[in-house]
Structure 1
Amino acid sequence: MRKIAVREVYVGRQPIVDRELTVLGYELLFRHGPHALRAAADDDRATGRIIVNTFAELGLQRLVGSRLGFINVTRPFLVGTLPLPFAPADVVLEILETVVIDDDLLDGVRRLRAGGYRLALDDFRADDAERVRRLLPLVDYVKVDVLDQSPSAIARSVEYCRKCSGARPPALIAERVESLPVMRDCVNLGFSYFQGYLLGRPATVSSPTLSPATVTCMELLNRLAKPDITYDELEEIVRMDVGLSYRVLRAVNSAAAGLVRPISSVREALVLLGHRQLRAWVLLMVLADASDIVEEQLSVAMTRARMCELLTAYLPGANPDAAFLTGLLSSLDFLLGVPMTEVVARLPLDDTIARALVDGEGPLGEIVRIAKAYEVADLETLALCPVDLADLAPAYLNALAWSMATVGEAVTA
């Protein structure tokens, strides 16, 4: 039987502190497992996973609170080949030491600075000075690798940074600080911030998530490339994939989207994101996604969502779009293996939908209760429902047929 991916997402975070040990921010690091000590790769895929995991899964607030998030980025993200679909307010983009510095890179950095992004040069040493000379005046922070370096070598790095940075020298961060003597030397040399095992080892934060089917993401990207695409068409695609629906909602709720407000339908989430942001997120999802859920479980979730939508014809006061979304989300507790209260806390849902999911309140709560009862042949509950049993059977069969066709399309590629 084909499977749909469900997995834990992991992000490591290591504090960066000032001289009083107050936290400036956290460097966010891709982790492939709960016990991993370092990233599996420093590449575009790892950067894509960090962005997706941070902004569309765990949430930046959960990882850094009111502090800054330092994220390693590779060349394609700096020159604009790959998108950065989040606002610049709470992040610092770290330029890796492996990035080739040329005119295209410098132009990309200038565009990012003009857009409000802060940047840091990572892993600087004095012997790398000539390579980064043109970049130094454009960054806000320089991270100097002080491990196994003498005080005189560290001093040369500091002096070069100050000499080449122009009128606005960057703040210096000593990284890989692993002993008190090194920390004291760095303070005396004028470093403002410090990072390393002495001050805190990377801690890993995790959360379960559903991965959208790659074929669905690719179809959505293809449609988004068309200038005359409508939100009706986009909604039709997103509704086919429970994992994609979940991530779209999370993206709206993240700081990346720039706003937090209650959502009552998939369509409303798409409108709030907009074509450009949606395209950026979907591209990163494809890049990031390389414990599975059995296809049958996904089929149950989609059948329930469709049945909830159809039941609005028999229950006044319930919107079909809201019913579909509520039915879809009502399956996430068993798909993700987390309580429904936690699922709802992660998403920017309208109060009516949230109460329906957690407490079974209102018309939407009643619709979900009926759909669940029909799934398991709970005759006692069905006997009390306001919909005639003769109408439930065709609604369920209609929903089942739609679900089988939809899930079949999503997993065959």
Structure 2
Amino acid sequence: MYCYMARQPILDAQKNLYGYELLFRDGESNAFPNINDDEATSKLITEHHLLMGVEKITGGQLAFINFSADTLIHHFPTSINPKSMVIEILETVPISSELMTACKQLHGMGYQLALDDHDFDPKWDIFLPYISIIKVDVQQFNLLQISKYVSRVRHYNVTLLAEKVETAEEFNKLRQLGFQLFQGYFFARPEMLKHKNISSSKLNLMLLIAEASKVELNFDDLSQIVERDLGLSYKLLRFVNSASFAREKPIGSLKHAMVYMGEAELKKFIALLALANLSENNGSELLNMSVVRARFCDQLAALNQDELNPPSAFLTGLFSLVDALLEQPLAGLLQDLPILPEIKSALLEHRGKLGQYLELAKAFERADWESQQQLTRQTLNKAVDLSPVYLEAVDWAHGLMLTAREEDKV
């Protein structure tokens, strides 16, 4: 029996990462909408938190976790540090004196409580003194209904979280109404802005991306590119020398790096560094998601024994959110990005093996386990538990991003 996990980002009003909602299900039953809430929460704690720790899954960010009535009453959340978690009370939980007592006790122990999918029913008002966050599915109500409710609860010390925000327009209106946290497709999908050309100052980064997509790395061409930008060259060397990737001896030159790491690995880091610098003024969580997808797709390619040079699966995952990072429509952007045609086909049309790898990554993000299982069989020609592979990708990306942030401080 397997336990599956996905995480969905929650952002603040400045689009900075605030935490993740963790979604855990029993994949073997293949009936996810009807899974027993107590069983799902039990598996969350026993098969994920106790094995590897919620903090590792979230990279140290807050974890938003659903709990049913019985798990709350029996204090299941207390096995997790209150500084690491927000307890979400499911909208289907029946109100009782036992539930009220449990909420008071958990609140007194320092846990943040959230009402999930709140429907504005006044019956929940007696819980509000112990509630830190109210989550509202904004697709279920119009703006007038939401505005009236916000006014009614304004005197409570609660933070409003908008779920299922799908557009930048919705995000901006809800922010004006007083919502402070946001979750939904406004983050995963790009904001459709008027097309902008990439500035000439970023030409070197584009050329680096092109080098990473080639079958054979031309070290002379690579040297000429990075020599035009001393800061970029310095960052690349520090990046390769970082704790996450260093070998027994420090690396002193790009040629040394290529020999020591191998071309395929070096190309991945060149592409990652270029994309990070292209998107330096946008949210780091988008880049983090891109790196998770890149690592996961790369591992799928290895399982399928694909040719790893150039690292096409890695690049497919890495550039899958490039439109959101650069705030440009994907189709127009890919005309300017010098990457392989099969990668462009995977990104635009979800075609080929690369497209399947990317769809598998997205299925994990959505916690769409039925699609994930079907895609796994189609892609690998057998049923395989890929949840450890995905968790490893999350952990790898966290280590990489942590190292990158530390290097930026130097």
- Looking at secondary structure, tell me which structure has more helix per residue: 2
- Looking at secondary structure, tell me which structure has more strand per residue: 1
TM-score normalised by the chain length of structure 1: 0.43
Query: Which has the larger Rg?
Result: 1
TM-score normalised by the chain length of structure 2: 0.44
